[in-house]
Amino acid sequence: MHILVTGAAGFLGSHLCDRLLAEGHTVIGLDNFLTGSPENIAHLSNNPRFSFIHHDVSQFISLHKKLDAVLHFASPASPNPHSPRGYPNLPIETLKASSLGTFNTLGLARANNARYMFASTSEVYGDPREQPPAESDWGHVTPIGPRSMYDEAKRFGEATVMAYHRVHGMDTRIVRIFNTYGPRMSLDDGRVIPNLIQQALRGEPLTIYGDGSQTRSFCYVDDLIEGIYRLLFSEEHLPVNLGNDREISILEIAHLINKLTGNRAGFVFRPEDRLGNDPQRRRPDLTRARTLLGWQPTIDLETGLRRTIEFFRQQLSLR
């Protein structure tokens, strides 16, 4: 297949390109390097089945190549206000990427009669009232809160995808991605795993927002990509949660990172430093993914963290 991946120079987009190329597809990557990096796709520069377009998805995409699939992954993805590249610092870009960018990529897919996938997020559930949220959960979200530029952009993106599916009969997919980590996350991304690993490798205390009792469930990137690949080749049009359902508190993961890196500097608690609306718990209900795709995460947290620590060790040694 000939596949367009937007957000190709990002963490997930670059792994997705690798997987699609490994399966024999031809891939066109599109990115404007807003939060991604040319380094993430540098290894693909000599691959005859890979080409790249430097473009902003919120602008009309003029591409005169036959496409069989369009995968829309371009969007800032970090909620950390202290990262210059987190979505609170890029609110208008974040809104445009999943609104105008979704119209543009859907239009392109429609013109090619191509299948389409939208990268949505667990954030569409906001701070859900039922735990863990299944895809039937409507969410508990504020349209004007500090995360709203992201939550509402992704909710709008999902609504747009379903409208094109219903009106034009397009062959669409929606993946609701839960916290995913691994090599190629940006060092200045601001999300918890790159932040804490980086601090640990520098021998600094790890910054914990609040008391660290809030939970997340972390999926290693290879597991997520496997689920995305299966979803792309499934017939499922309604949203599917993908992630890992092992729930762990932020304090526990901080302990684990200190143990795996041999860091003895402990923690520093920063109640005042965090953006509001930090969900207290997050864990996916993976029933639909397991049933529909025969998929489940297989890489345990310690193994995934070791690989990620190794990646960040190399990155820091290059700086």
Site for ligand UDP, rule CB under 6 A: 79-80, 179, 191-192, 195-196, 207-209, 214, 216, 250, 274, 278
Say which entry of ligand UDP, ligand NAD, none residue 97 contacts (CB below 5 to 8 A, set by partner kind).
ligand NAD
CA angle 80, 224, 244 (to 5 degrees): 75
Q: 20 or 196, CB closer to ligand UDP?
A: 196
Q: Is the peptide bond before 132 cis (omega within 30 degrees of 0)?
A: yes
**What residues between 55 and 94 interact with ligand NAD by CB under 6 A?**
56-58, 73-77, 93
| From candidates 4, 5, 9, 242, binder to ligand NAD by CB under 6 A | 9
Distance, in Å, from the CA atom of 74 to the CA atom of 267, rounded to the nearest integer, reads 34
List 125, 150, 164, 181, catalytic entry:
150
Q: Please check whether residue 319 is in contact with residue 313, taking contact to mean a CB–CB distance below 8 angstroms.
A: no
Q: 4 or 254, CB closer to ligand NAD?
A: 4
| Through-space distance between the first and last CA atoms of the chain, rounded to whole angstroms | 38
Please, what is the minimum distance in Å from the beta carbon of residue 76 to ligand NAD? 6
Distance, in Å, from the CA atom of 118 to the CA atom of 152, rounded to the nearest integer, reads 14
Q: 117 or 201, CB closer to ligand NAD?
A: 117
Residue with tokens 């309604």: 238
Half-sphere exposure of 230 (CA within 13 A, CB side): 19
Please, what is the minimum distance in Å from the beta carbon of residue 114 to ligand UDP? 30
Q: Please check whether residue 187 is in contact with residue 315, taking contact to mean a CB–CB distance below 8 angstroms.
A: yes
Using rule CB under 6 A, residue 18 touches ligand NAD: no
Q: 209 or 312, CB closer to ligand UDP?
A: 209
Please, what is the minimum distance in Å from the beta carbon of residue 315 to ligand NAD? 14
Q: Please check whether residue 284 is in contact with residue 131, taking contact to mean a CB–CB distance below 8 angstroms.
A: no
Using rule CB under 6 A, residue 304 touches ligand NAD: no
CA distances from 7 to 165, 231, 272, 299 (A): 22, 18, 32, 24
| From candidates 4, 10, 183, 305, binder to ligand NAD by CB under 6 A | 10
Where in the sequence numbering do the catalytic residues fall?
A: 150
Residues forming contacts to ligand NAD in the complex (CB under 6 A) are 6-7, 9-13, 31-36, 56-58, 73-77, 93, 97, 101, 119, 121, 177, 179-180
